[in-house]
Amino acid sequence: MSDCQHTREQLLDAVRGRLAEPQRTHFDAHLQACSDCQHLFEREQALERALERRPRYTLPERLRESLTATATGAKADSGARRRRLGRLAAVLVPSLAAAALAVLLVRGPAGSGQPLIDEAINDHLRVLYAQHPIEIESGGIHQVKPWFAGKLDFAPVLQFSGDEEFPLEGGAIAVFVDRKAATFVFKHRLHLASLFVFRSQDLRFPSRAEQAIGSRTATSAASRGFNVLLWQDHDLGYALVSDMDQKSLARLAEKLTAP
């Protein structure tokens, strides 16, 4: 296993202070020598700090009382078993409801159930929260693409250089699941869109590809307020993420996949 791959596996443990010696010493030494991993580490730190500043919510007292009343409202003549279940529900239901509501309000809705969709959204959040999300400013696709040479173990295939509707802001290196990815950042009015290009080998893509994108088909999903399009082209995978509306995102995807 290469030092870079090993370091990427340790990133979250290091950010959260869970990396013990001597791994921490080796991790710090690698960061000093590798600017790419140092940048990824700083991006993860920024995301972790942003998540720690999220507002915390508690279950409103009126809702707690209503849930308790519902759980304990079984009729007295329903038998001992029902009374036992009612008492148990009176204890468990408010706690479970509070936990569920906290997840909805603090962390957003449950994951999409598709790991690559969730990964794409998490990586887009890293772009949004990063202090310096763009490592190479755009001078057009023919300036951004060559910048990735030597930084990735593949060449990202992309022809769209941006236009007035979707200007190309620039690019950066990201980690998608367990591998490096090329990130292209586009803008649409006040919205940012992240396109992640990565090797698709050994990744399990969603079985359904229900949306036509030009001559290709893509998996479309919406989760946590973001829209995602995920597709494959030979041995490369593409994940496009933004909070722009689905029609605008599909229009950008058609431009990205145009020959």
Q: How far apart are CA 5 and CA 178, in angstroms?
A: 8
| Residue 79 neighbours by CB under 8 Å, 6+ apart | none
pLDDT of residue 8: 58
Q: How far apart are CA 106 and CA 180, in angstroms?
A: 29
pLDDT of residue 32: 81
Spell out the SS3 assignment of the chain: CCHHHHHHHHHHHHHCCCCCCCHHHHHHHHHHHCHHHHHHHHHHHHHHHHHHCCCCCCCCHHHHHHHHHHHCCCCHHHCHHHHHHHHHHHHHHHHHHHHHHHHHHHHCCCCCCCHHHHHHHHHHHHHHHCCCCCCEECCCHHHHHHHCCCCCCCCCCCCCCCCCCCCEEEEEEEEECCEEEEEEEEEECCEEEEEEEEECCCCCCCCCCCEEECCEEEEEEEECCEEEEEEEECCEEEEEEECCCHHHHHHHHHHHHCC
Q: How far apart are CA 218 and CA 114, in angstroms?
A: 14
Phi-psi region of 177 (alpha: psi -120 to 50; beta: other; left: phi over 0): left
Which CATH number describes the domain made up of 115-257? 3.30.200.100
pLDDT of residue 135: 85
Asked whether 168 and 194 are in contact (CB, 8 A), the reply is no
Q: Tell me which residue of 131, 56, 111, 103 sits closest to 226, measured CA to CA.
A: 111
> Please, what are the averages of pLDDT over each run of 10 residues along the chain (259 residues)?
60 70 80 76 68 54 62 52 55 46 37 77 89 78 86 90 92 89 94 95 80 85 92 93 94 91
The type of residue at 53 is R
Quote the tokens at residue 159.
């022809």
What's this model's pTM, rounded to 2 decimal places? 0.61
Phi, psi angle pair for 162, to nearest 5°: 90, 160
Domain ranges of the chain: 3-52, 61-107, 115-257
Q: How far apart are CA 136 and CA 170, in angstroms?
A: 5
